[in-house]
Amino acid sequence: MSAVKIFSGTESKYLAEKIAHQYGTDLGDVKISKFSDGEMCPAFQESVRGCDVFIIQSTFAPSDNIMEVLLMVDAARRASAKYVTVVAPYFGYARQDRKDKPRVPIAAKLVANLLTAAGADRIMTCDLHAGQIQAFFDIPVDHLEGASVFVPYIASLGLENLLFAAPDVGGTKRARDLAKIFRSNMVICDKHRERANEVASMQVIGDVTGADVIIVDDIIDTGGTLCKAADILIEKGANSVRAVITHPILSGKAYENIQNSKLTELVVTDTIPLRQQSDKIKVLSVGELFGKAIRKIHDNESISSLFIKGLSI
């Protein structure tokens, strides 16, 4: 069986080290040089000939992260790697998955095309903004679930009147999946936007009186929607409001919004590093989850045991 070598892009090294440790190896040596104009040139400092290469890089801002991983894939291909897997715990541009108005791109499809054209054989990611983005790829996609790390934590809280909430209609499946595991109910926060990152109005569909509510979502950007939902849920009689959200983009005034909100706690993963610390934000690592997935993929084993379906508490 071919050897496994795990490499990291510049911005995801903090997570790649955890993944490699879980797998039981050290990160491979790659040097990423930059010309004075910002042009990048990655170079593997060890042989990858005949190896199964895993390149770990989330595609969060800056956009250089995407170019960096494309160049690393191309370099691995040209160095005769046997199989190249891009591990993108956070797959950027996933919110642009359709034409919702005239004369705009479908950026998620474009990024998928770029990764495939660069020579990637497989993509591994976590909580795509829309599951159907998997169909944008003509190569295998392993779509892991952030809920796999959230479930044990939620169970440890010992909340008696647990209720799950979707922050919008599009997030109902995530909330429903967790509600099934905990044999709980769910509500929906129906929102209306007039422009990006700005909620014009919101209403709660369902009864939250006396409940300990957990809002479930894949991405938190400015935190405006989440904080507004938390405030409304408390107004409607909820006992407490927490949120479990996989990808903490946390742009603009997000940290200030969260700190000033009625949220008891925001639980996120480390697919994207935090820009600053907050006593309201708890980070759970997906390093173990991805490390196990890499081992199963290399050993040609099913990864279904890593998903939350069929779990019960």
Would you put residue 275 in left (φ > 0), alpha (ψ -120 to 50) or beta? alpha
Is 28 annotated to bind a ligand? Reply is no
Is 223 annotated to bind a ligand? Reply is yes
Q: Cβ distance 84 to 69 under 8 Å?
A: no
Q: Which residues are catalytic?
A: 191
Is 26 annotated to bind a ligand? Reply is no
Q: Of the candidates 91, 110, 63, which has an alpha carbon nearest to the alpha carbon of residue 219? A: 91
Is 129 annotated to bind a ligand? Reply is yes
Is 95 annotated to bind a ligand? Reply is yes
Q: Of the candidates 168, 163, 167, 165, which has an alpha carbon nearest to the alpha carbon of residue 182? A: 163
Helix (H) or strand (E) holding 77: helix 64-78
Q: Residues near 173 by Cβ (< 8 Å), separated by ≥ 6?
A: none
Q: Cβ distance 28 to 297 under 8 Å?
A: no
Is 122 annotated to bind a ligand? Reply is no
Instruction: Decide: helix, strand or coil at residue 26.
Output: coil
Q: With 0-12 CB in 10 A as exposed, 13-18 as middle and 19+ as buried, what is 50? A: exposed
Is 77 annotated to bind a ligand? Reply is no
Q: Within 13 Å of residue 160, how many CA atoms lie on the same side as its CB?
A: 2
- Residue 35 is given by DSSP the state -
Q: Cβ distance 7 to 28 under 8 Å?
A: yes
Is 222 annotated to bind a ligand? Reply is yes
Report phi then psi at 90, rounded to 5. -115, 120
Q: Which residues are annotated as a binding site for D-ribose 5-phosphate?
A: 193, 217, 221-225
Binding residues for ATP: 37-39, 95-96
Residues of each annotated binding site: 37-39, 95-96, 129, 168, 193, 217, 221-225
